[in-house]
Amino acid sequence: MEAMTIDLNSDLGESFGRWQLGDDGALLRLVSSANVACGFHAGDPQGIRRTVRAAREAGAAVGAHPGYFDLRGFGRVPMQLPDAIVRDDVLYQLGALAALAHAEGVRLAHVKPHGALYNAMATHEELALAVAEAVGAFDRRLPIMVLAGSAAERALLAAGTHVLREGFLDRAYLPDGTLAPRGTPGAVLDDPDRVVEQALRLATEHRVLAVDGTELTLEVDTLCLHGDNAAALELARRVRDALEGAGVRIASAGLLHDT
């Protein structure tokens, strides 16, 4: 029987100037895909290029992580923007990251919208299609990571866009399948045992428990562990060990980088 395979991704390259966030180098040795900030919500050119280089050296695929133009709010502040602005902002960010990646001999493997943009896409089909239009204008081969079971997944699949269905290891779910809003009690999981349990259930059973105990069925291609979680490194080690111990192979779900 062929081994079960899952992608393990993390949002990285989110430091800015002298402000350093997370341990990208260590995480890149544990994940299979890196979603690299593009400068709008976090990241500066030097840090972005270092992250891409580190991903290449670690053998992790590199994806773009575009978000709202929101450095102060780290891209997590909801915004009401015309779809045309979102489309062009995403395209701009893809071009910026692609240039730095090209300089390191890497081509992009996927696109994962960040923060408030990602969450808004999960419930707003037209916004999801605007992001897909930007990605398609850049490179139609690139898959887009979206929340598994969301309106974004349905809209993009109907439009013929290649999607990667994403589950979250360190976030709590609401009964409707969306993520519990940050800032609400229990929205971010930091108990290693619970994170490992959620990872195993999503990867092997395609199930997860919502905050009210509702059992959700979610088909997933990739699992996210946030790099800005204070316990990210410990969680990544434990999750990887648990998945591999359960016979799950960890590998990128997007295009492989060129070297």
Please tell me the distance from the alpha carbon of residue 146 to that of residue 125, in angstroms, as a whole number.
12
Q: 1: helix, coil or strand?
A: coil
| CA quadruple 4, 26, 100, 152: dihedral sign | positive
User: What confidence tier does 10 reach under pLDDT thresholds 50, 70, 90?
Assistant: very high
**CATH code assigned at 174:** 3.20.20.370
Q: What pLDDT is recorded for position 17? A: 82
Query: What DSSP state is assigned to residue 182?
Result: T
Instruction: Assign residue 73 a region (left: φ > 0; alpha: ψ between -120 and 50; beta: otherwise).
Output: alpha
131, part of any domain:
yes
Range 158-173 average pLDDT: 96
User: What confidence tier does 2 reach under pLDDT thresholds 50, 70, 90?
Assistant: low
Q: What pLDDT is recorded for position 229? A: 67
Q: What pLDDT is recorded for position 121? A: 98
258, part of any domain:
no
Q: How many domains are there within the chain?
A: 1
Q: What pLDDT is recorded for position 258? A: 45
64, part of any domain:
yes
Average pLDDT, the chain: 93
256, part of any domain:
no
| pTM, full prediction | 0.94
52/229: higher pLDDT: 52
Q: What pLDDT is recorded for position 116? A: 97
User: What confidence tier does 257 reach under pLDDT thresholds 50, 70, 90?
Assistant: very low
Residue 243 belongs to domain spanning:
4-250
Share of the chain above pLDDT 70, in %: 95
- pLDDT for 202-254, tens place per residue? 999 999 999 999 999 999 999 998 867 667 888 999 999 999 999 999 999 87
- pLDDT for 24-49, tens place per residue? 888 999 999 999 999 999 999 999 99
Please tell me the distance from the alpha carbon of residue 167 to that of residue 163, in angstroms, as a whole number.
13
- pLDDT for 78-94, tens place per residue? 999 999 999 999 999 99
63, part of any domain:
yes
Share of the chain above pLDDT 90, in %: 85
Residues 6+ apart with CB under 8 A from 250: 5, 6, 7, 8, 31, 32, 240, 243, 244
257, part of any domain:
no
**46: exposed, middle or buried (C-beta count within 10 Å: 0-12, 13-18, 19+)?**
exposed
- pLDDT for 166-195, tens place per residue? 999 999 999 999 999 988 999 999 889 999
| pLDDT at residue 77 tops 80 | yes
Q: What pLDDT is recorded for position 150? A: 98
